[in-house]
Amino acid sequence: MMDNRADRPSGLGRGLAALIPQRPVTDGGPTEIPLDRIRANPRQPRLRYDADALATLTASIREHGVIQPILVTELVDGYQLVTGERRVRAARAAGLERIPAVVRQLGDREQLELALVENLQREDLDPLESARGYRQLIDEFGFSQEALAARVGRARSTVANTLRLLELDPTVQAAVADGLISEGHARALGGLPIEHQATVVATVMAQDLSVRQTEEFVRRLREPREPTSAAPARDAELERVEEDLRRALGTKVRVAQSRRGGRIVIDYYTEEELGRLYERLMGGTA
């Protein structure tokens, strides 16, 4: 029999139904199953759940019931959840004993893929959770970045950029997961050696830098110092002071010594940046 699935459009626009293998079921639709027989999905990419949103969903389920069935695969002694973790948690919190479910026989790859796609459709995953889900599909099931991008409805460059988050310092990854910085901030910080990223992300958060400002900050930290062929070798302590000032102020700083002292040159590029530097140097006073 000819398989014409290759002719179908790929991407999130198809919805979850198009990704679920169409095998016959006994009753042709959702059925009620006991909540106490449902096991968590060990391949669920989502790790964090907003307590307030979950409480709102619980109140809605208590009032109206579960409107959208969950998806499970049948086990010998019960069911394993594929998609619908929030609905299961909220239904239990609401005191329900049973929940509507669609039962399908799914392999490990299909379970991870469906869980990932559902959360991407709902924009429920933070960038690190998406990255870990992508990495799992690539490492365990042999997806290429191109095939994965087509499957989850993302551009290949988007998938590649998200995967690079896993190469960042754990401090930067934690800041992304906690919503303290955006994925754009993290990508900018990826331009630095990993041993410098924790220090710089602390500066980015302390100064509340935008993504553009973070990119500029990283660029200045990476650019080589201007050559001074006639100048003597610089003292290591002076180099350290200059580097500390550069990181603290978030801009290019040069310290020049002379026989009777020296000078500190602080660069700025916009009026907004001048105002920020003024407030920082003046201790926040006008």
Catalytically annotated residues: 85
Mean pLDDT of 154-171: 90
pLDDT band at 120 (very low <50, low <70, confident <90, very high): low
Q: Are 21 and 104 in contact (CB under 8 A)?
A: yes
pLDDT in tens, 127-142: 888 888 888 778 877 8
pLDDT of residue 152: 75
* Residue at token pair 């049973």: 98
R_g of the chain, CA atoms, integer Å: 26
pLDDT of residue 247: 78
pLDDT in tens, 240-258: 788 888 877 777 788 877 7
Look at 111-115, 116-120, 280-284 and tell me which has the smallest mean pLDDT. Answer: 116-120
Of residues 281 and 233, the one with the higher pLDDT is: 281
* Residue at token pair 């991870």: 112
pLDDT in tens, 55-78: 888 888 888 888 888 888 888 888
Mean pLDDT of 195-204: 89
- Domain ranges in the chain are 10-163, 185-224, 235-286
Q: Is the pLDDT of residue 32 over 80?
A: yes
Short-list 6, 13, 5, CA closest to 154: 13
| Sign of the CA dihedral running 274, 276, 281, 286 | positive
pLDDT of residue 186: 93
pLDDT band at 233 (very low <50, low <70, confident <90, very high): low
Distance CA 81, CA 74 (A): 9
pLDDT band at 119 (very low <50, low <70, confident <90, very high): low
Strand partners, 32: 100
pLDDT of residue 172: 93
Distance CA 273, CA 83 (A): 47
Mean pLDDT of 8-13: 44
CATH architecture of the domain formed by 10-163: Alpha-Beta Complex (3.90)
pTM score over 0.75 = no
Look at 49-53, 198-202, 213-217 and tell me which has the smallest mean pLDDT. Answer: 49-53
In this structure, are strands 253-258 and 38-39 parallel, antiparallel, or unpaired?
unpaired
pLDDT of residue 11: 45
pLDDT of residue 21: 45
Distance CA 184, CA 181 (A): 8
